């Protein structure tokens, strides 16, 4: 095989659990196709759908998997290579050979999916599908269901979503081992950046050193690298600035390993050898918030509460600096922290860097009784629910000084009882700081995943001692 797999018994067992949770009807899981970049044959790197990978393992384009929850029949749909295909791809295993590797007995040509779906629908059976995020899968499903493309989302099976989320949220030991590999590669990506950055370098030169590490480990990027001296721009993919002494460099980068599990780490370090004292103070406020959040990670606590506690701790630190005033807990209740920390404390991580986000944030990060908030800041918290043993998640507090946001708030004197706008004015060009690590929730607490990546001010500056 051109791809790696767990033992076939693992896939079989995962499907059996899904089947018993679904009870009745057909489960149809769509694999992905190649997606064209600028013309048909020039394609983006192939990425298999994560739920398909979880249950059927096969890292190959043009496949679909079906589980008949009533009869127990399992089918892989896919087309055999023609001689024209083989000229371009070389010989590859047959669909039957691939299916055998994940303990699936039956295979059918891809065109047969339509027949199975339509016969089931005709017989009044439920065909359970997930919400497609790729246009080509949406179009195919519309054709098979005999509906308009705009109606496909209404056919999504909430029962299937909930069953998949329930299973994929709890990482088994073999998954944790793969995530640890991905995180450790990610640690090396960050060490490359922290050790090799010099004033005068372009951001893209550092990004090249970061990304090389993932490729050299037979991995790839789990998401596009964020590497910037403008760290306040949350998803900043521009790499054209020159790094100067006195700047801070924010690097948010992670590897996807050869089993497609992700790492997601962030560090912020000085462009020169040392942080300025202003930078050091804010850095320590972020680190204090992070360490407090980490100390609270355990089963039974909601991540929403840990986010709230992290925000309070952050404001305590910013109060010491003079950027905020008043009671930090009341300030967080009023939303004052969102001027500095506009996003969430973290998210689930696994086969996807934001694990299962395609299944819907309400289903993966919240519950029927804990509804995701919609107000500024809180709406970006992707995980709110009670933590359970086996969850893998990120902890990533930050401070982002966004001049445009300050101007808006200041114009309204918004929350002026908590914000020290005069002092904040002197921080307009401060930039942003984020620190991020990845954790497993254990029976009695948590465990840092992967190798330790230095994060205290002293440790970071020691690595910058060029
Ligand atoms: N690593 C990017 C993010 O968590 O959004
Ligand atoms: Mn993250």
Please choose from 354, 357, 435, 438 the residue to mutate so as to test ligand 1's pocket, defined by most ligand atoms within 8 A of CB. 354
Q: 40 CA distance to ligand 1 centroid (A)?
A: 30
**Residues 57 and 25 reside in one and the same domain:** yes
| Of 297 and 84, the one with more pLDDT | 297
My answer on whether 195 and 156 are in the same domain is no
CA-CA distance, 198 to 202, in Å (whole number)?
Answer: 9
Provide the b/e sequence for 216-241 (b: ≥16 CB within 10 Å): ebebebbbebbbbbbbbebebeebeb
Mean pLDDT of 145-155: 97
Whether 113 is covered by a domain: the verdict is yes
Tell me the pLDDT of the chain averaged across its residues: 97
| Domain-located, residue 277 | yes
Q: 237 C-alpha vs ligand 1 centroid, how far in Å?
A: 12
CA of 442 to the centre of ligand 2 (A): 20
Per-residue pLDDT reduced to its tens digit, 260-302:
999 999 999 999 999 999 999 999 999 999 999 999 999 999 9
Ligand 1 neighbours, Cβ below 6 Å, are 223, 252, 264, 353
Q: Sign of the C-alpha dihedral, residues 410, 415, 419, 422?
A: positive
In a shared domain, residues 222 and 311:
yes
Q: pLDDT above 70 covers what percent of the chain? A: 100
Is residue 119 very low, low, confident or very high in pLDDT (cuts 50, 70, 90)?
Answer: very high
Q: How far is the CA of 226 from the centre of ligand 1 (A)?
A: 9
Query: Angle, to 10 degrees, between the axis of helix 135-145 and the axis of helix 112-122?
Result: 50
Claim to verify: residue 114 and residue 130 sit in the same structural domain: yes
Mean pLDDT of all residues in 375-404: 97
Does residue 425 lie in a domain region? yes
Please report the atom of ligand 1 found closest to the CA of residue 346. 4
3-state secondary structure 277-328: HHHHHHHHHHHHHHHHHHHCCCCCCEHHHHHHHHHHHHHHHHHHHCCECCCH
pLDDT at 213: 98
Cα distance between residue 206 and residue 228, in whole Å: 10
Count how many domains the chain has.
2
Distance 389 CA to ligand 1 centre (A): 23
Q: Which atom of ligand 1 is nearest to the CA of 396?
A: 4
Mean pLDDT of 66-77: 98
Structural domain contains residue 312: yes
pLDDT at 224 over 90: yes
Q: Is residue 359 part of a domain?
A: yes
* Residue-number span of the structural domain to which 204 is assigned: 173-463
Residue 254 CA, closest ligand 1 atom number: 1
403 and 261 in one domain?
Answer: yes
**Which CATH number fits the domain that encloses residue 123?**
3.40.350.10
74 and 28 in contact (C-beta within 8 Å)?
no
Q: Which residues pair with 127 in a beta bridge?
A: 26
Residue 1 belongs to some domain of the structure: no
Say if residue 211 is in the same domain as residue 122: no
CATH number at residue 419: 3.90.230.10
Distance 303 CA to ligand 1 centre (A): 17
- Rounded CA separation 313/105 (Å): 55
CA of 266 to the centre of ligand 2 (A): 8
Query: Which of 112, 142, 168 marks a domain boundary?
Result: 168
Q: Of 144, 168, 192, at which residue does a domain stop? A: 168
Q: In terms of residues, how long is the chain?
A: 466
Residue 3 inside a domain? The answer is no
Residues 206, 126, single domain; the answer is no
pLDDT band at 69 (very low <50, low <70, confident <90, very high): very high
Mean pLDDT across the stretch 20-39? Answer: 97
Ligand 1: nearest atom to the Cα of 222? 1
Mean pLDDT on 191-200: 98
Per cent of the chain over pLDDT 90 is: 97
Residue 267 φ/ψ, nearest 5 degrees? -135, 150
Residue 89 has pLDDT above 90, yes or no: no
Residues 184 and 148 occupy one common structural domain: no
Centre of ligand 2 from the C-alpha of residue 440, in Å:
14
Q: Which of 252, 341, 343, 398 to mutate to test the pocket of ligand 1 (most atoms within 8 A of CB)?
A: 252
Q: What is the pLDDT of residue 49?
A: 98
Asked if residue 2 has pLDDT above 90, the reply is no
Of ligand 1's atoms, which has the minimum distance to the CA of residue 266?
Answer: 1
Q: pLDDT at residue 28 above 90?
A: yes
Does 372 share its domain with 456? yes
- End residue of a domain, out of 124, 148, 168: 168
According to the model, what pLDDT value does residue 236 have? 85
Q: What's residue 235's pLDDT? A: 86
Number of other CB atoms surrounding residue 83 within 10 Å: 6
Q: Considering every ligand atom, which ligand is closest to the CA of 346?
A: 2
The pick from 226, 234, 432 for probing ligand 1's pocket by mutation, whose C-beta has the most ligand atoms within 8 angstroms, reads 226
Average pLDDT over residues 41-47: 96
Distance 288 CA to ligand 1 centre (A): 20
* Cα-to-centroid distance, 344 and ligand 1 (Å): 10
* Nearest atom within ligand 1 for CA of residue 343: 5
Ligand nearest to the CA of 250: 1
pLDDT at 313 over 90: yes
- Across-strand partners of 268? 250
Query: Are 214 and 231 part of one and the same domain?
Result: yes
Based on the domain organization, do 311 and 336 belong to the same domain?
A: yes
Q: Which atom of ligand 1 is nearest to the CA of 394?
A: 4
Cβ neighbourhood burial of 353 (10 Å; 0-12, 13-18, 19+): buried
Output the pLDDT for position 463: 98
Task: Give the nearest ligand 1 atom to 253 CA.
Answer: 1
Pocket test for ligand 1, best of 348, 353, 383 (most atoms within 8 A of CB): 353
Judge if pTM exceeds 0.85.
yes
* Separation between Cα atoms, residue 333 and residue 33, nearest integer Å: 46
Residues 102 and 229 in one domain: no
């Amino acid at each position: 095989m051109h791809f790696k797999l767990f033992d076939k018994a693992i896939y079989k067992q995962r499907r059996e659990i899904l089947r018993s949770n679904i009870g009745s009807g057909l489960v149809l899981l769509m694999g992905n196709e190649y997606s064209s970049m600028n013309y048909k044959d020039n394609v983006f790197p192939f990425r298999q759908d994560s739920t398909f990978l979880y249950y059927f393992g096969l890292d190959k384009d043009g496949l679909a998997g079906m589980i008949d929850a009533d009869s127990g029949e399992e089918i892989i749909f896919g087309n055999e290579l023609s001689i024209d295909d083989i000229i371009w791809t070389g010989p590859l295993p047959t669909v039957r050979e691939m299916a055998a590797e994940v303990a699936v007995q039956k295979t059918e040509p891809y065109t047969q999916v339509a027949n199975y779906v339509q016969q089931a629908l005709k017989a009044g059976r439920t065909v359970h599908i997930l919400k497609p995020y790729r246009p080509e899968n949406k179009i195919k499903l519309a054709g098979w269901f005999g509906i308009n493309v705009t109606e496909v989302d209404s056919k999504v099976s909430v029962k299937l979503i909930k069953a998949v989320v329930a299973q994929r949220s709890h990482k088994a030991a073999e998954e944790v081992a793969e995530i640890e590999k991905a995180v450790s590669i990610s640690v090396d990506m960050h060490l490359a950046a922290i050790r090799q950055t010099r004033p005068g370098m372009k951001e893209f030169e550092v990004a090249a050193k970061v990304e090389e590490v993932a490729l050299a480990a037979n991995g790839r990027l789990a998401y596009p690298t964020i590497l910037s001296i403008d760290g306040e721009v949350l998803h900043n993919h521009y790499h054209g600035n020159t790094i100067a002494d006195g700047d801070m460099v924010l690097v948010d980068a992670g590897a996807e390993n050869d089993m497609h599990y992700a790492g997601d780490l962030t560090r912020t370090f000085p462009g020169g050898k040392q942080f300025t004292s202003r930078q050091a103070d804010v850095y320590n406020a972020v680190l204090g918030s992070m360490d407090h959040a980490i100390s609270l990670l355990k089963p039974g606590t909601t991540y929403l509460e840990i986010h709230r506690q992290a925000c309070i701790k952050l404001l305590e630190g910013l109060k010491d600096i003079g950027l905020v005033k008043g009671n930090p807990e009341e300030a967080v209740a009023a939303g004052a922290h969102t001027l500095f920390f506009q996003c969430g404390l973290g998210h689930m991580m696994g086969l996807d860097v934001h694990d299962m986000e395609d299944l819907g944030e309400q289903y993966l990060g919240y519950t029927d009784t804990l509804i995701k908030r919609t107000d500024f800041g809180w709406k970006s918290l992707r995980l709110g629910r009670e933590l359970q043993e086996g969850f893998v998640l990120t902890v990533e507090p930050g401070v982002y000084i966004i001049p445009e946001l300050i101007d808006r708030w200041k114009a309204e004197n918004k929350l002026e009882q908590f914000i020290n706008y005069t002092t904040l004015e002197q921080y307009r060009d401060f930039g942003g700081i984020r620190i991020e690590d990845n954790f497993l929730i254990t029976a009695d607490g948590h465990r840092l995943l992967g190798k330790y990546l230095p994060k205290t001010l002293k440790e970071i500056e020691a690595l910058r001692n060029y």
